[in-house]
Every structure is written in structure tokens, then in C-alpha cells.
Amino acid sequence: MANTDMLAQLSHFTTVEQLSSMNDNITSMLDHSNAQFNN
């Protein structure tokens, strides 16, 4: 049971890290697109 819980926590942590990274990338792309659109 302990091993399963640890794996679940690790998977959750990895997912959150990936989502955070994707969010940063999307924000950067949107900022870049807005800059091009405004020029």
C-alpha cells in the first residue's frame, strides 16, 4: 500500500510540474503573438 501511495504522489507531482511548464510555454507563446499583432 505504501508503495502505491508513493507512486501516486510521484505521478501527481510530475503531472503538476508538467502542467506548470506547459502553462509557462503557452503564456510565452501568447505574449509573443500579441507582440507581433500589435506591431
Which residue in this structure is represented by grid cell 503531472?
A: 15
Alpha-carbon distance of 5 to 12, in angstroms, equals 10
Cell, residue 4: 502505491
User: Is pLDDT larger for residue 4 or for residue 26?
Assistant: 26
Alpha-carbon distance of 36 to 25, in angstroms, equals 17
Percent of the chain with pLDDT strictly greater than 70: 92
Rounded (5°) CA angle 20-23-24: 90
What pTM was estimated for this model as a whole? Answer: 0.50
Q: Examine the pLDDT at 34 and tell me if it is beyond 90.
A: no
Which residues, 6+ apart, have CB-to-CB distance to 11 below 8 Å? none
Model pLDDT for residues 5-14, shown as the tens digit of each residue: 877 877 777 7
